[in-house]
Structure 1
């Protein structure tokens, strides 16, 4: 949950898990924790809508998860493309060498530039709002 490790805290008489607890504290996970718990990686709280603060409101993205550096993240684009991977987010502060724009994201409003990389090269997606996602990606379609 937001990069914090969880464990099953107990079992029913039938042997089914009934509680999930935080590994660090042993406290039960509540419904409110998703809204109030900061990211284990960056320490930022989610937005008031419950989105990961580092990638909230990305243009042409229906929903997303940054992965919190413990799980695979994903970006689900409005054109049906889903990008998955372990990635970092940042604000565009330095120039990234421009590569050939990947066609799977071309034409999407708000996507400034994209190179999705390969097994040997890290990819990146630059958005018009200044957010840059970098990492090794896999691509799938809905």
Structure 2
């Protein structure tokens, strides 16, 4: 058993912490889990944390605006993996699942994306607070 602590803030009924479902890696990402943690260093910030399944230690973090969206692991045909998640400034972020290196960012909304992306084959679909549904082809 293990646990990993984060210090988070809550402001005027808008809570920080983990609001998302954890993504469990497989294939090349089998040693990791991914979780968004909202309102970490301040009210507007958050991280996507990559934690080792074995002991909960941090492998890497991606700092951006906070996210309530659940991360999703996506894989190339060779099994290599990326992590996709959405944040509170309307960005969809794609990261290398092993290193955390940013692969791409697509800004689709002027507000919070609370929804989690659904992924099928090479498409991601996500709804936004500004009443739009986006379909994005992953390459």
TM-score of the superposition, structure 2-length normalised? 0.29
Higher fraction of helix: 1
TM-score of the superposition, structure 1-length normalised? 0.29
Greater Cα radius of gyration, structure 1 or 2: 1
